[in-house]
Amino acid sequence: MRTLRDSLVDYLTMRRALGYKLRRHQKLLAQFVDYLDGIEAARVTLENALAWARLPTNGSVRWWASRLSIARGFATYLHTIDPAHQVPPADVLPYRSHRTTPYMYTDQDITALITAADTLRFPLRAATYKTLIGLLAVTGMRVGEAISLNCDDLDLGQNVLTVRTGKFGKSRELPLHITTMQSLRTYLHCRGHLRPTPNTPALFVSAAGTRLLYCNVNWTFLKLVDLAGLRSGSASRRPRLHDLRHSFALHTLLDWYNAGVDVQSRLPLLSTYLGHVNPGATYWYLSAAPELMILASNRLEKAPGGQS
């Protein structure tokens, strides 16, 4: 007889075959199975799924809803094997997520962040963060993609960077501007001088010669935000590391609108460059900033038959 833990292995294997990484799901579902074992429950029920989802008892509704959603996916899989497993209804612990309003970094903001990175304690750490921030700002790469880059992903002859660890396992090639390539060459020279034998094939390395960790990168970035004197536009529009990606996309769209190009026809290009699997994720940017909404409205008014 297969146990819940055996079924969890099968469920994760099936989902990963579809391109999902599920690191967080694996951790939480393992805890869910431990919980079910602890109460000697052989099947998932609405009661035990809800009881587990509401842990800790002082957690937020958003956190509870996220846990129940993950348990629901596993329960749905189990139900196809044994109908005795209950699937929690979607209207239990409902929570409608709201995307955070992105902070729009200006060129001056990026310069201030890179200048602040120059004050970091170790020369290699300073060089790493200066180059990393610059690359994120001009490519819109995901942070996880950037810190997963290896040296052989960079083609210095063709001015192309290959992202091999994109979302859902998708790879893509990013053509880079000659000034970006020069910055990467300078960093590689500096890295080779300060850490000639790193412990990793990673492109970006720490002062100890190891691959960067997201938690450390995010902590350091928030420190640089303070050093650079960047201030929140509002409580919901604070400078975040991921907003470098948002800013790249928004500034690209703003440039296209100001240049009078056909934005709709170019959106698939931006979607491909950003590595969006679903083009709808790119279309979200059209309503993500007031500046874009104003430009789009103005273009609509100028169009033949357009109305304000």
Query: So which residues are the catalytic ones?
Result: 142, 167, 242, 245, 276, 285
End-to-end alpha carbon distance in the chain: 66
SS (H, E, C) the chain: CCCHHHHHHHHHHHHHHCCCCCHHHHHHHHHHHHHHHHCCCCCCCHHHHHHHHCCCCCCCHHHHHHHHHHHHHHHHHHHHHCCCCCCCCCCCCCCCCCCCCCCCCCHHHHHHHHHHHCCCCCHHHHHHHHHHHHHHHHHCCCHHHHHCCEHHHEECCCCEEEECCCHHHCCEEEECCHHHHHHHHHHHHHHHHHCCCCCCCECCECCCCCECCHHHHHHHHHHHHHHHCCCCCECCECCCCCHHHHHHHHHHHHHHHHHCCCHHHHHHHHHHHHCCCCCHHHHHHHHCCHHHHHHHHHHHHHCCCCCC
